[in-house]
């Protein structure tokens, strides 16, 4: 009895030790966590942090290069680029987090069901996933947004749909190899229902690799959403959003006003980079063998 | 005959396997065309249409028929190569796409070629010299490459190479206006110009192509380099490499004909995924460089809500991708003789 009471504690401590060990030996992951904190801070407090109103136009002050008053310069109607970039963090992050959350939940449910019960459910799901993957994913997202209508919600759904196969496949594989494991059978014999065994005993095992996937996916989802708004889908001007800001700034790059496009682009890159680094770092913690 | 020739059998089997996917792709694109916001008939009838003309459009488009019958009609149209009429250009979508496809393919294939030529040696060098500067360079390229938004890289390159340094031509389309476009043979400007021996035009087209191709190559480089490095590392640690070395074979022989040939398989598989990314990135790069391919066609169509054009584009891209994956799998059988027997 005492054993079972102590072991989760020890295990927990061991895990934290491992995390600290990995962080110490891999400062890049630590930097990624700090950058994530910065991004979250901007997303939460963005509107109060921004020195100017992101929508406030000021025509006489248009196209000013970066200066002390306007760190990132001003755009073609005199709006402060820095404020717009900061405020946009929340929208971009919301889109990608919502999309990844939807694909996580839907993918988990479908993947668990297919992996646990198998049979025709598994076959049908696999066929559908194959078909989704048969499209170039960004192009499919374009098609979905074009069909459903040009709104921010539909950008989220489209991004969720193109991300879903990755989660469903991952969960399916993880559940499938464990459905006949000793502890799953024991739980079943102890009188738990299939659903309970699946949800409480098998699915949690799939969580660590899922977390890695989430982190890597978030970066990709941000890129996708920004790409879609870059070609004029979803977010509409004058809403501050990174993709649309780069698109608007692109018109001025050939005449040398680089700050309009470069700063939102760099910020976007930094966000994606953070999530990618974080994903790699998480993978090292979760599965040391896959370290590159 | 087939049972005596397992390789042919495997090839045919793989081609057969592509059919369900094609059917799935067609079903999804049918659903997309029918999932238009609101009533498609109202949309296609135009803004000033009254109830009667909306009804007329509904009947003319076959939207009053049951959904299954509509699907059969849709398939029939597809088989005749009819993707509908583009509202913005007034021409059949299939014709528009066929006109613009060579431009996109020229860009995508050049970029992929460029990426392979750089990424594969980079990955091999990184794997054979772990810890060296090549290895670090490879790691930086791989991590930065996947984080770069293609459209942003393109704009940055335009700013540096066109505006600041002035070495690149203006980022507007496939050919500067001082050149006449070469006679239409394949639609690939580089090939057409070379065929008629017009090297001045060839150079002009190549100059225009360089920047967008580099932009896209930077994006596709990362996964190829990462895969090459990983595959080379695992191939080099295999037993048969040690045996080959112990047997006194030259380093070059061990590296290229033993390790590299085995490492090639996962790399070729990755190419399929990379091509999917490349086709998506193609849309963004074409918009940045005003490249007259099918990607920018779709973007223009999106802006004016020309749905038939967008869905035709989505379907074309998907079919292109399915075809390419098929080619890659067939190439796979050519590279690895074992595959033909295993996949029976």
Cβ-based neighbours of B1, under 8 Å, separated by 6 or more: none
Residue A1's pLDDT band, with cuts at 50, 70 and 90, is very low
Ordered mean pLDDT values, 10 residues apiece, chain B (344 residues)? 66 81 85 68 69 77 76 84 80 88 90 91 85 80 81 88 82 76 79 81 85 89 86 84 85 83 82 83 88 88 79 87 84 68 43
Name every chain B residue with its beta carbon within 8 A of the beta carbon of A250: 151, 155, 288
Name every chain A residue with its beta carbon within 8 A of the beta carbon of B314: 135, 139-140, 142-143
Phi-psi category of A106—alpha, beta or left, where left has phi over 0 and alpha has psi -120 to 50? alpha
- Taking a C-beta distance cutoff of 8 angstroms, is the pair A277, A216 a contact? no
**Residue B92: beta bridge partners?**
B85
SS3 content of chain B, % helix, strand, coil (to 5): 75, 0, 25
- Taking a C-beta distance cutoff of 8 angstroms, is the pair B126, B135 a contact? yes
Phi, psi of B92 (to 5 degrees): -60, 140
A78-290: CATH class: mainly alpha
- Taking a C-beta distance cutoff of 8 angstroms, is the pair A121, A175 a contact? no
Q: How far is B151 from chain A (nearest CA, A)?
A: 8
Alpha carbon distance B38, A150 (integer Å):
13
Side-chain half-sphere CA neighbours of B219 within 13 A: 31
Side-chain half-sphere CA neighbours of B43 within 13 A: 18
Q: What is the DSSP string of A194-227?
A: HHHIIIIIIGGGGHHHHHHHHHHHHHHHHHHHHH
DSSP conformation class of B340: H
Alpha carbon distance A82, A73 (integer Å):
7
Alpha carbon distance B78, A61 (integer Å):
54
| A103: pLDDT strictly greater than 90 | yes
3-state secondary structure of A190: coil
- Other CB atoms within 10 Å distance of the CB of residue B325: 21
Q: Is the CB of residue B43 less than 8 Å away from at least one CB of chain A?
A: no
Largest CA distance in chain A: 77
> What is the pLDDT at residue A4?
45
Alpha carbon distance A266, A85 (integer Å):
10
3-state secondary structure of A256: coil
Of B90, B6, B1, nearest to B342 by C-alpha is B6
Q: Tens of pLDDT along A221-265?
A: 898 888 888 888 878 878 888 888 888 888 888 787 888 888 889
State the ipTM, two decimals: 0.81
Q: Tens of pLDDT along A148-180?
A: 878 889 999 999 999 999 899 888 888 888 888
- Taking a C-beta distance cutoff of 8 angstroms, is the pair B296, B286 a contact? yes
Task: Please report where in the chains the tokens 């194959």 appear, as a residue.
Answer: A130
Alpha carbon distance A93, A89 (integer Å):
6
| Sequence ranges of the domains in chain B | 4-79, 100-303
Residues 9-28 of B with CB under 8 A from A: 20-21, 24-25, 27-28
| A3: pLDDT strictly greater than 50 | no
Task: Please report where in the chains the tokens 């959003």 appear, as a residue.
Answer: A241
Alpha carbon distance B238, B328 (integer Å):
25
Alpha carbon distance A190, A184 (integer Å):
10
Q: Tens of pLDDT along A33-60?
A: 888 889 898 888 878 877 778 877 777 7
Residues 270-309 of B with CB under 8 A from A: 275-277, 279-281, 283-284, 287-288, 298-299, 302-303, 305, 307
> What is the pLDDT at residue B146?
78
Residue A287's pLDDT band, with cuts at 50, 70 and 90, is low
Alpha carbon distance A32, A26 (integer Å):
10
- Taking a C-beta distance cutoff of 8 angstroms, is the pair A39, A33 a contact? no
Task: Please report where in the chains the tokens 């005993």 appear, as a residue.
Answer: A201
In chain A, the residue whose alpha carbon lies closest to the alpha carbon of B274 is: A136
Query: What is the sign, positive or negative, of the torsion defined by CA atoms of B57, B60, B65, B67?
Result: negative
Cβ-based neighbours of B198, under 8 Å, separated by 6 or more: B182
- Taking a C-beta distance cutoff of 8 angstroms, is the pair A102, A156 a contact? yes
Q: What is the CATH number of domain B100-303?
A: 1.10.3720.10
Radius of gyration of chain A (CA): 23
Name every chain B residue with its beta carbon within 8 A of the beta carbon of A146: 32, 302, 305, 307, 310-311
**Is the CB of B143 less than 8 angstroms away from the CB of A143?**
no
């Amino acid at each position: 009895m005492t054993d079972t009471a102590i072991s989760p504690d020890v295990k927990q401590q061991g895990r934290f030790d491992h995390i600290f060990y990995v962080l110490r030996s891999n400062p890049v992951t630590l930097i990624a966590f700090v950058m994530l904190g910065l991004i979250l801070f901007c997303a939460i407090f963005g509107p109060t942090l921004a020195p100017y109103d992101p929508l406030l136009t000021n025509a006489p002050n248009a196209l000013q290069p970066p200066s002390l008053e306007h760190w990132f310069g001003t755009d073609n109607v005199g709006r402060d680029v820095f404020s717009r970039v900061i405020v946009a963090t929340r929208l971009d992050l919301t889109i990608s987090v919502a999309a990844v959350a939807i694909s996580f939940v839907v993918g988990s449910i479908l993947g668990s069901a297919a992996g646990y019960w198998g049979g025709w459910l598994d076959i049908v799901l696999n066929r559908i996933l194959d078909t989704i993957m048969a499209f170039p994913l960004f192009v499919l997202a374009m098609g979905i947004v074009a069909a459903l209508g040009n709104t921010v919600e539909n950008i989220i759904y489209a991004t969720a749909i193109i991300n879903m196969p990755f989660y469903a496949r991952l969960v399916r594989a993880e559940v499938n190899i464990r459905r006949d494991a000793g502890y799953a059978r024991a739980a079943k014999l102890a009188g738990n229902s299939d659903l309970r065994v699946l949800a409480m005993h098998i699915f949690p095992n799939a969580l660590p690799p899922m977390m890695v996937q989430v982190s890597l996916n978030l970066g990709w989802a941000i890129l996708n959403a920004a790409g879609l708004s870059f070609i004029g889908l979803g977010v509409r001007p004058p809403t501050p959003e990174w993709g649309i800001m780069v698109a608007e700034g692109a018109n001025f790059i050939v005449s040398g006003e680089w700050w309009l496009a470069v700063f939102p682009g760099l910020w976007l890159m930094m966000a994606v980079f953070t999530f990618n680094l974080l994903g790699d770092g998480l993978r090292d913690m979760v599965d040391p063998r896959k370290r590159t | 005959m087939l049972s005596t020739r397992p390789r042919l059998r495997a090839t045919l089997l793989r081609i057969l396997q592509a059919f369900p996917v094609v059917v799935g792709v067609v079903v999804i694109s049918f659903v997309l065309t029918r999932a238009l916001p609101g009533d498609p008939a109202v949309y296609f009838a135009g803004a000033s249409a009254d109830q009667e003309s909306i009804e007329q459009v509904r009947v003319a488009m076959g939207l009053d028929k049951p959904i299954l019958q509509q699907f059969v009609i849709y398939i029939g149209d597809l088989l005749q190569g009819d993707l509908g009429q583009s509202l913005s250009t007034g021409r059949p979508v299939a014709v528009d796409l066929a006109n613009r496809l060579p431009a996109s393919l020229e860009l995508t294939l050049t970029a992929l070629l460029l990426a392979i030529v750089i990424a594969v040696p980079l990955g091999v060098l990184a794997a054979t010299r772990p810890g060296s500067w090549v290895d670090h360079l490879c790691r930086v390229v791989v991590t930065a490459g996947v984080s770069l938004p293609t459209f942003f890289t393109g704009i940055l390159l335009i700013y540096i190479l066109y505006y600041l340094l002035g070495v690149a031509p203006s980022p507007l389309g496939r050919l500067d206006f001082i050149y006449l476009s070469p006679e239409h043979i394949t639609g690939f400007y580089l090939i057409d110009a070379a065929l008629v021996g017009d090297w001045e035009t060839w150079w002009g087209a190549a100059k225009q192509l360089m920047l967008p191709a580099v932009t896209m190559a930077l994006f596709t480089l990362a996964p190829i380099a990462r895969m090459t490095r990983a595959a080379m590392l695992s191939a080099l640690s295999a037993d048969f490499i040690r045996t080959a070395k112990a047997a006194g074979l030259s380093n070059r022989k061990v590296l290229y004909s033993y390790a590299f040939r085995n490492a090639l398989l996962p790399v070729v598989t990755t190419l399929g995924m990379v091509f999917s990314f490349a086709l998506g990135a193609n849309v963004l790069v074409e918009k940045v460089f005003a490249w007259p391919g099918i990607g920018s066609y779709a973007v223009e169509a999106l802006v004016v809500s020309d749905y038939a054009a967008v869905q035709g584009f989505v379907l074309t891209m998907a079919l292109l991708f399915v075809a390419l994956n098929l080619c890659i799998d067939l190439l796979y059988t050519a590279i690895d003789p074992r595959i033909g027997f295993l996949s029976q």
